[in-house]
Structure 1
């Protein structure tokens, strides 16, 4: 039996609602981070993406894109992800 990593489990289990919410939030995230290069954003669209709300009160979201980890402070994104998850 193959061993499933936590990241692969989260990627499969949360891909529906989280991906939808993050894709909906992507335009505002890009606007908040003008230093993101277009080549990075185009390669990110082909990678698995998982959003982890680390601290809802502080607005901290960790985005796992492929093998990269990006920490974002965005209260509005936390609110939208929470709403998309039905919480």
Structure 2
């Protein structure tokens, strides 16, 4: 990749995958309680990485940071969206 960094490539690819996954998650989100954003919510693209589907760990890559979240329900929803 000439002028494209690995992180930028992953970010762009992840944004496309997130958009596709969001399309699958929307119907199930309508039946769940709506989650509200707070003042510190991310405004830039977010890439979610699940290394082990049997764990509850999701690594979020935001800008130059990595944030590890432990949320079994989120892992299951991402796996369901990816399997569609």
Which interval holds the TM-score relative to the shorter structure?
A: 0.5 to 0.7
More helix by share: 1
Runs (4+) of structure 1 exceeding 2 A deviation are 16-22
Q: Which runs of 5+ in 1 are unaligned?
A: 31-37
Q: Deviations over 1:14-46 (max 9, x none)?
A: 213325279x6x939x7xxxxxxx4321xx12x
> How many residue pairs get matched?
74
TM-score by length of 2: 0.66
Higher Cα radius of gyration: 2
Unaligned runs of 5+ in 2: none
RMSD of Structure 2 on Structure 1 (CA): 3.0
Aligned pair partner of 2:66 in 33, 47, 69: 69
